[in-house]
Structure 1
């Protein structure tokens, strides 16, 4: 959501260019990579309050401090709002959440090393200024008014528009953190199968990684309150996309969907121009009220597709978006799960066999219930933990078949350990947090920030 905008580019003269934009993502198997993005909350170690942008214990100071490791600042006006190093970037979510958008990498071992290096760098800079970082799906006790908005023009537009579409959009912006994985496809047909499998199984990922059971200092009633928030954010741009499972789905159908998603902005000359609620179809006809007489560029299209937030999102790769942020083992388990399921044909076929007969009602049921009841959700007469066991075993098989070994001879299945424990116990991270909060922590959140910070 927060990547620096594109701007400029080739003018769009036909709908075909929009389709070709997605088709350009097709890659031969030898070029497939994985990219992992994970967000985390920053807090003042003394007060346990969220970090402001400015000040000695603030987000700006964090960004500036990280430049010692070779990160190059990206500015908006006079404010650093992101960092870049090679093909990786660090960006800011609206409430100051730090996001690492990792480089495209070949193996889980490389991904785990990248995550470990990033966390070490963040801890070093944060520790010097008296800050900490923690991975949770939702801020456990902060209120909206406790959180500082980041100085990004895009977020000002979204902040004004969100309340017009849903009750929880501002909470999504300010108080959530996620981990997601970006994966490649070989062809349109390969994209379609991967999209269908991953979209069907996003609620299962929500349950396995559920890590946000609190709301403003109390039990929320959800294992993943972060996931619930997306159900009342903006129906025009969120959800399970039932058309993905319909005959004939492909790049063209996704283009139609994106053309129907209302715009947020146009980016010109380093500034965001408010186009909230306006139509990209009108833009293509030169009739956009925000830029009358102007037609969009391919980079405008690239910016626009980042403003839809379905459970799986198509760019020139597929983004798996259903999981809460968490501790480092969870940050590695999420890409391991999806790589294991989607990057080996036998595993992909087996996963498809599990979900191919599900109805739209099944998808909607899981999407609405998994955030609340997690792995104990009853689905087709069985707890969701039973399905999770089958899915995690398929992922194991897929990763074993890849035979990508580290220096000690371990294959990539070692990163599935948190999920192995979850399916064996039927418990997700949220269950552990609830047990400790209601027991040994005595209803205090201080031990959470102390014991679970990176």
Structure 2
């Protein structure tokens, strides 16, 4: 989750909230991409999760953040006296913590996939160097493979306490989402409202394709859980008011305003004033906008409140001043690079974007939702509109590859961006996900032992 925004500009009416999102519009020449990924820290000695303050003589999450601060020179992000993240220079990237200690890199906005791959490689090298003296490694999977929720530590961030109290009231899996899942996502720009709508619709419709291709969470508490993406399955019953496939996005007249209207009706978690998180879970942002919030009488909404509220929406694709692709499990480094490649090739090339829309525009809400519901278990063996999903995935990947080729963004060696798709192209070709490969190894060469996953999918 991104760090909270600080902007005390008062908000007088809904049109200003719409305008805040519209300010994200950019000319195509200014389009950037920002890749985010999470990973599970663990002690190599006994595979235990890593608490904030450490354990005995062993360092903890705080020590990793302090070590990264010393190594990078980034500014600390504090919460009630605790370092809970780092902010890169000039708004370029950040490191933050998910509720269970998942260590997240929010990458800087960059021009091409070569730059995001270099950023990722440098980050992994940095965090490995800082963590190794503490005996800490990081597992790259979509779901915690070994620990119970009770064994998983909680990070000292105010908003997480509020969320943890609220989640069980609105779904059965919210705490699992918070403490036991990891994702990789890419944030992408739009040119104007029409461009946003087309990109939102295409990426919502195809998000289950990404879920199937990047599935990497077949384990729970040391055993197979029966799913290819347990992370995705968990989201199906986390909080239906703020997650899902956004069927309204396909209605005629979809707009910034339609998204704002939806977000205004999603209950709030908190209002932040200075360093204090005020628990207003379940309250209406409309009341805050009108100065009638019962928990904070007379308090009026600011742009910070709006930006922070939007960060508590969890649909499969999230709109802020950019679009966030949220459907994929975290995985090993090649897959972390393949995810932004997949979406950049589809959404940043107009020919591929138009072709992708032609592919999905005939799908009904029921068909899209049916695919979303079946993909966590079936993966590429699911289907939509009478077609096997694996066929759809291969077609979509070809569109993405063609889009990347037309972008023709080359590195110093003269290579374009298409090579970053190779790992996921191989998955589509054989019709078998990383999750299925891991499950097979677990049942065979690993002898139903979970320990090897901390060697094969870890840094």
Tell me the TM-score normalised to structure 1 length: 0.99
Q: Which runs of 5+ in 2 are unaligned?
A: none
Q: Tell me the secondary structure at the aligned position of residue 109 of structure 2.
A: coil
* Residue number among 193, 212, 219 corresponding to 1:214 in the alignment: 219
Distance in 1, Cα, partners of 2:220 & 2:388: 25
Structure 2 counterpart of 1:341, from 342, 346, 358? 346
The reply to whether residue 285 of structure 1 matches residue 263 of structure 2 is no
Residue matched to 1:245: 250
Give 1:101's aligned residue. 106
Q: Distance in 1 between the 2:6 and 2:283 partners?
A: 18
Secondary structure of the residue aligned to 1:232 is coil
Matched, 1:66 2:68: yes
- State the 1:378 CA deviation: 2.8
Deviation of 1:72 after TM superposition, in Å, equals 2.2
Find the partner of 2:402 among 397, 401, 424: 397
- The list of structure 1 runs, each at least 4 consecutive aligned residues, that deviate by more than 4 angstroms after superposition, is none
Q: Give the Å deviation of 1:7.
A: 3.7
The one of 432, 446, 454 aligned to 1:449: 454
Render the CA deviation track for 1:385-428: whole Å, top value 9, x for unaligned.
Answer: 11000000000000000000011111000100111101110011
- SS at 2:452's partner residue? helix
Of 180, 191, 197, the residue aligned with 2:196 is: 191
SS at 1:74's partner residue? strand
**Cα deviations by residue, 1:367-388 (Å, 9 ceiling, x for unpaired):** 0001111011133333211100
Structure 1 residues not aligned, in runs of 5+: none
Q: Secondary structure at the match of 1:144?
A: coil
- The CA deviation string for residues 224-259 of structure 1, in whole angstroms up to 9 with x for no partner, is 000000011001101001000010001000000000
Deviation track 1:170-201 (CA, whole Å, cap 9, x = no partner) reads 00000000000000000000000000000000
Query: Which digits, 9 at most, give the CA deviation of each residue in 1:345-388, with x for residues without a partner?
Result: 00000110110000001111110001111011133333211100
Judge conservation of contact 1:7–1:268 (CA < 8 Å) in 2.
Answer: no
Q: How does 1:31-430 map to 2 (within 5 A)?
A: 31-55=30-54, 56-67=58-69, 68-86=71-89, 87-430=92-435
CA offset digits 1:53-101 (Å, max 9, x no partner): 0023310010011122222211112210001122110000000000000
Counterpart of 2:196 in 1: which secondary structure?
helix
Distance (whole Å) between structure 2 residues aligned to residue 134 and residue 217 of structure 1: 14
Deviation sequence 1:245-280 (CA, Å, 0-9, x none)? 010001000000000000000000211000100000
Instruction: Give the Cα separation in 1 of the matches to 2:197 and 2:158.
Output: 35
**What is the CA deviation profile of residues 296-330 of structure 1, one whole-angstrom value per residue up to 9, with x for unaligned ones?**
01111011000110000000000000000000000
Per the TM alignment, residue 8 of structure 1 is displaced from its structure 2 partner at its CA by: 4.1
Aligned-pair CA distance for 1:9: 1.9
Which deviates the most, 28-37 or 370-379?
370-379
| 8 Å CA contact 1:53, 1:96 repeated in 2 | yes
Q: Say whether the 8 Å CA contact 1:202–1:322 is kept in structure 2.
A: yes
- 2-structure distance, mates of 1:178, 1:365: 22
Question: Does the CA contact (< 8 Å) of 1:377 and 1:383 recur in 2?
Answer: yes
Distance 1:360 1:451 in 2: 39
